[in-house]
Amino acid sequence: MGKIDFKPGNMLYPLPAVLVSVRDKDGSDNLLTIAWTGTVCTNPPMLYISVRPERYSYEMIRRSGEFTVNLTTSQMTGATDYCGVRSGRDHDKWEETGFQKLPAKRIQAPLIGESPVNIECIVRQEIALGSHTMFLAEVVHVSVDDRYMDEKGTFHLEQAHPIVYSHGSYHDLGRLLGTFGYSVRKKKRKAKK
């Protein structure tokens, strides 16, 4: 087994495939698919999305200073792809996907009702990086679908079958391999009979 040289590029995969909802100052709403996203800070809770300036939603985010990140599921895969290949300039993606539009708690950008997790964000910094501009945002509210809560108050996102994006393909997340700290956790001893 060997290694071969590959052109420099973004090879950090898989990535979450999320739908970002936006509302401009005139009250127009749009959806866009984003894979360039991630967590950047715990306290205060912050995340980022990177958007190409030519995208229709780019100016909506710049002017409003807010957006909602909606996690996606295997049932939402077709609509997630559609929102990434069609422009809000020419299509009403809310109407065409049939997603339920819900009001947010802390911002104007709506939530997708079918999403298991909705993350309301306020932009704190905008960084032009080249092909994309990164919007660094503070998380100001999170809503989760109560169908994935257990009786102990634990949220089980895995039951929603979240999807990820890798090299042009969408994938359903697979089986559980372990939980944080499992590699060093002491094994429980079996009781002697």
Give the C-alpha distances (Å, rounded to integers) separating 122 from 44, 109, 125, 154, 160.
12, 10, 9, 26, 26
- Number of domains the chain contains: 1
pLDDT at 193: 63
Which of 86, 91, 87, 118 is CA-nearest to residue 102?
118
pLDDT tens per residue across span 28-39? 999 999 999 999
**Any domain includes 187:** no
Give this prediction's pTM: 0.91
**Any domain includes 10:** no
Angle value at C-alpha 125, between 119 and 128, nearest 5 degrees: 110
Q: What are phi and psi of 84, to 5 degrees?
A: -90, -20
Q: Are 67 and 137 in contact (CB under 8 A)?
A: yes
pLDDT at 178: 76
**Any domain includes 132:** yes
pLDDT tens per residue across span 138-161? 999 999 999 999 999 999 999 999
Cite the DSSP H helix spans in the chain: 56-64, 77-85, 93-97
**Any domain includes 5:** no
**Any domain includes 31:** yes
Domain extent, residue 144, equals: 15-172
**Any domain includes 135:** yes
**Any domain includes 66:** yes
Q: Which stretches of the chain drop beneath a pLDDT of 70?
A: 189-193
Q: Are 83 and 93 in contact (CB under 8 A)?
A: yes
pLDDT at 1: 85
Q: What is the CATH number of the domain that holds 86?
A: 2.30.110.10
**Any domain includes 58:** yes
